[in-house]
Chain A
């Protein structure tokens, strides 16, 4: 329309634009046209790309979980040795994985650069006059607590600290030793003088426990409680000694857990003796069990972080995880073999647990190193080094660097590890897992706890079951109501009424779900809890009342019947439904008294059905309410668009209206109805706020309608804001978002395709 405007620019001479002006105009118009084409094109494609990005990004965030674990040999250097020689008792790394420390059998602690092996300071512990180091103990890596045991039967606990200071923005670390129980070695046990061959130390809430074993099978144990004087800062140590029953064989290794409840002694015959030390005055043996096959020996044993799980390496190369499991009676906890890992060819010589996770490294006598993860019960990676027996290993707190010292070779091998998400195997996420401290393998979702040595339980099964449970109960309510309503509205209802009903029900769809959830949680849940019989009476009375009024209507006088046109049944039913509703509600207490001893809630509990106030029923009601309009709207369209000549033909052949509905309308519209149900189901699966507010959000695995659940969507809403970016938990949450996305996307696409085919079919009919 405004193409002609350039006229106004014309010169006085001619009324028409001259050739040059026309040329210019044409150029400008072509340019504008191109601009429009490419502008619209690029932003259109940009939007599509942005939407695709959702898929790509969610996938990108979950991808690192699938990344393969790698273990690569880095540098190797000669073992740093001091003036006085000795073999390595232990290796550690500091928290930046920069400084390695080597504890030698001469009581020296040598610090060295972890990557190059360059020597740094060496610290010497006070060794008692005339005594030699005969035993060494380490506590959990994160506590950095160690103990030396000497040939005169004394023990020296020590801690290694890495204080840091900054000079010109550069970090400097000067390692130092501290002695929590004093610099003087302590005698434990009553028999002085017998050398300790094995030693254990643990720091728990009540103080320190030190236990030592001798060749004769004796175990001495002492507990130390320290109190710091507020005024002087002096540390007071109180000790308490215990004697444990003597073993038949020499003590090979002692392990203590930091709950200060159990002591495990492994003897040279491969037997594990588990002691209950809760009653400190009278420690007792709970059981003695064989850990390895007859004739084999336990060559390495270590507790995982949290000191609940015991990893046992045998001379046959086997690696097994054990922990205490409550027995049938529930009174005593017995050591139980939980799982076995890929065995080594040679004898297991060393086990090194990770700092904060349930993973561990093992080394064998043939120079192979393997990385395992307990929770997901997998051997992630193995690496063959020089064929030298592995003596000692250390793994850094970031789980990305390990030092391996081979016997005889005098070399330390640096191993670089990339293993950020060891827990997320298929079986770890979807299978039953036997978690520490549980009685049996289970599906559990429990992502965090106050304790940092906690074993994260990331089973997606409870969440998926919860999602399905919520969606299922919602569909149970919504599908019949919505489909039946749709059939009536599309086929039987009079036109003026349909004009009101359809938009009203569709308006429901726009109702924010947060409001539905709020009403369900605050109003409906307590109401239903106090009036449970309405569920039964409602389910029975409503259909009955409707049928009865239908029957009565046929008996009504002709005059009245003729005054109402067909298609107004629903309107006539309004008073019936209201009246029935009133009866249902007000009869509730009477029914409770008559059939349920006065309280149906209590009756359910007595019968053995657990009842939560916010449960699947409430979620089903509220979410069903939210899903009804979705299903109704699509199904109604499908039924309404069934070509009229089909139904008219059927009626003309003498079928009753209902026979026509069943035989013709539903048959033709069934794909549309099916796609309506699918879309409704998709909506129920992804709904967040209703579930968040109307269910208890407890991730349980059952289909009890009177208990709550936790769904994938609600779980994301609850946990994602609080998790650490990039952690396994974070990525698992992204994975659950991805699962939701794919699931609903596929469901919707299938529904859309079905609908399109239906539309085509209608067009051809």
Chain B
């Protein structure tokens, strides 16, 4: 024992333990995100039970078990709930009871000790609604224009048929509102700007005015047609409704137009649940957010993240690569260059928020303000580029990731054996030809690695984006069918910011929690994928040029 202690072996075990703990933390974290994220889409069974606190009336509870946890009994006693003497641990269940509009609170903790027996009634329905969150209840009858159509037997198939109809109507409404009406609004705004521009230039005469007027009238006429169509669609969609009995015993009527999806999870087989799972997953990826982002999908956030990262790549790649080539191939090596190189590398360690501050001050207020005064005077005082937006977000991130690309490219250039260079020069090629035809192609994988690492970093960065262009809800996507198709000045949504915003700024934090886990999952998957790609490419590259240049 004494010898064992003296030899220092315990320390080896302790250092080994540090590795183990770190690894368990990493994998535990990823596991947590995976389980919670993927669990979001599973149609969980609906529980029906009763809850009777001592001295209070028993109440019926219907909902989905979110999680259970054990607590010291003292914590519960402090809340004024009497527990038997001597009890140390209490188990409590967080149950999502939905029906926010009826009961006012959709998540509630229930102590295991006071819960009755758990049933899983097969008929129990869960409705995913467009407003007010989910609804749990027992279906009673189906109404058409207020008249009972089906009652009891055969209700569910008929309901699903009618839900399909109302959903397709709703899709068409959405299409008109987002697409056609959005385009008309865009065109109207353009007419307004054209008039203002003509005014500013002093070219506003009768002919121009008449032209503008005609355009406006055409748009108004188009709008009137669409509006009529919309109204009739809305009337159609409002036809059916369903009556359900909520946990409290109340009968609640829900319009089919307000329902996105409906399940009887207790009545579903495993394959059916899997099917629903896949549908839910796709709805999440390709859907639009609802209810202040706490429900629905995250498509605009994914789209915004990807667009921003792409624009950033277009900016950062050429500049990063050129700067690296300059530093490695053309600049005169010496103490000054060494200092510059260290500085550039160190910028990678500068807090990202500093880049955000720079982006806001220099890009947006200074450059953007200047661009607005020169090119968009007609829109002033409403800023076009003088306000946070896609382009500035991309540019800021490009600056932030520039060191990553430079470092990686330089590393790649350094790894190319000097013999290859000398061979090319000896054959009579100029320096430029050697560079562009021999060295740079060989270093392409390194550049790719740098770019992928830059993308991975950019996709996960949130702090600077909060200052330079990301918003909680963007009304339009940055790319659409209106000229010039890519709207660099538009504000975007972003996965990382979505997590922050929904997790911490939303009114229904608990309801949104699952959605945030799912969003985090998507983001983690995206980033892990990008990083693994980069690591693979780098390793392959290192194998390929494992040479005397090291």
Query: Contact residues of A with B, CB < 8 Å?
Result: 1-3, 29-30, 32-37, 39-41, 43-48, 50-51, 53-54, 57-58, 61, 480-482, 484-485, 487-489, 492-493, 501, 503-505, 507-508, 510-519, 521-523, 530, 542-543, 546-547, 549-551, 553-554, 569-571, 573-574, 576-578, 581, 586, 588-590, 592-593, 597-599, 601-602, 625, 628, 632, 656-659, 661-662, 679, 682-683, 685-689, 692-693, 713, 716-717, 720-721, 725, 733-734, 737, 740-741, 744-745, 747-749, 752-753
Contact = CB atoms under 8 A, between A and B. Distances in A.
B500 interface: yes
Contacts of A501: 19, 23
Contact of B14 (A515, A547, A686): A547
A619 B356 CA distance: 22
Contacts of B461: 512
B71 A748 contact: no
Contacts of A508: 26
A683 B17 CA distance: 25
A50 B399 contact: yes
Which 5 A-B pairs have CB atoms at the shortest separation, nearest pair first? A598-B74, A686-B351, A44-B326, A658-B8, A512-B460
B319 A741 contact: no
A310 B327 CA distance: 62
Given A41-B330, A484-B15, A717-B467, A748 B346 contact: yes
B263 interface: no
28 contacts: A32-B433, A33-B433, A34-B432, A43-B318, A47-B402, A48-B344, A50-B402, A57-B358, A488-B18, A493-B16, A504-B26, A518-B520, A570-B17, A574-B24, A577-B24, A589-B72, A592-B74, A593-B73, A599-B74, A657-B8, A659-B8, A661-B11, A685-B351, A686-B353, A686-B354, A734-B357, A740-B354, A745-B350
Nearest to B359: A54
Interface in B316-357: 318-320, 322-323, 325-327, 329-331, 340, 342-347, 349-357
Contact of B520 (A515, A521, A569, A692): A515
B528 interface: yes
A501 B73 CA distance: 41
A507 B88 CA distance: 41
A61 B361 contact: yes
B62 to A, nearest CB: 25
A43 B331 CA distance: 12
Contacts of B466: 717, 721
A523 to B, nearest CB: 7
A656 B531 CA distance: 39
Interface of B: 1, 4, 7-27, 29, 32-33, 69-75, 77-78, 88-89, 318-320, 322-323, 325-327, 329-331, 340, 342-347, 349-358, 360-362, 365, 399, 402-403, 406, 427-433, 435-437, 456-457, 459-463, 466-467, 496-497, 499-500, 503-504, 509, 513, 516, 520, 523-524, 527-528, 531-532, 535
A744 B350 contact: yes
A569 B360 CA distance: 51
Contact of A515 (B17, B33, B357): B33
A60 to B, nearest CB: 9
A713 B15 contact: no
Contacts of A570: 16-17, 19-20, 23
A245 to B, nearest CB: 52
B18 A485 contact: yes
A487 B456 contact: no
B403 to A, nearest CB: 8
Contacts of B357: 58, 716, 720, 733-734, 737
A2 B352 CA distance: 44
B84 to A, nearest CB: 14
A721 B75 contact: no
A30 B402 CA distance: 31
A573 B402 contact: no
A625 to B, nearest CB: 6
Nearest to A566: B12
A111 to B, nearest CB: 31
Contacts of B437: 1-2
B460 A514 contact: yes
Contacts of A658: 7-9, 11-12
B353 A37 contact: no
B430 A577 contact: no
Contact of B75 (A518, A530, A692): A530
Nearest to B328: A44
Given A51-B344, A515-B524, A748-B349, A510 B73 contact: no
Contacts of A601: 75
Nearest to B521: A515
Nearest to B406: A47
A716 B73 CA distance: 42
A519 B32 contact: yes
A569 B329 CA distance: 47
Given A58-B354, A510-B528, A599-B75, A37 B23 contact: no
Contacts of B16: 488, 492-493, 546, 569-570, 573
A57 to B, nearest CB: 5
Q: Which of B74, B343, B428 has the most CB of A within 10 A?
A: B74
A61 B427 CA distance: 54
Given A484-B18, A512-B523, 14 more contacts: A32-B432, A41-B330, A43-B318, A47-B326, A54-B399, A484-B14, A507-B532, A514-B500, A518-B499, A519-B33, A570-B19, A717-B353, A737-B353, A745-B347
Contact of B431 (A37, A507, A659): A37
A487 B74 contact: no
A46 B70 CA distance: 60
Contacts of A518: 499-500, 503-504, 516, 520
Q: Which of B26, B33, B463 has the most CB of A within 10 A?
A: B463
A695 to B, nearest CB: 12
Nearest to B329: A40
Nearest to A598: B74
A733 B204 CA distance: 45
A37 B12 CA distance: 55
B467 A37 contact: no
A683 B349 contact: yes
B10 A503 contact: no
B21 A688 contact: no
A522 B349 contact: no
B8 A573 contact: no
A44 B325 contact: yes
Nearest to A491: B15
B320 A47 contact: yes
Contacts of A688: 351-353, 462-463
A44 B21 contact: no
Contacts of B13: 546-547, 549-550, 553, 569, 573
A701 to B, nearest CB: 22
B432 A36 contact: yes
B536 to A, nearest CB: 10
Contacts of A725: 365
Nearest to B7: A656
A39 B75 CA distance: 70
A753 B75 CA distance: 53
Nearest to A30: B430
A44 B327 contact: yes
A408 to B, nearest CB: 49
A292 B358 CA distance: 50
Given A593-B74, A748-B349, A54 B329 contact: no
Nearest to B502: A518
Nearest to A26: B430
A752 B342 contact: yes
Contacts of B325: 40, 44
Contacts of A519: 29, 32-33, 520
Contacts of A571: 20
Nearest to A526: B69
Contacts of B399: 50-51, 54
Contacts of A550: 9-10, 12-13
Q: Which of A480, A482, A658 has the most CB of B within 10 A?
A: A658
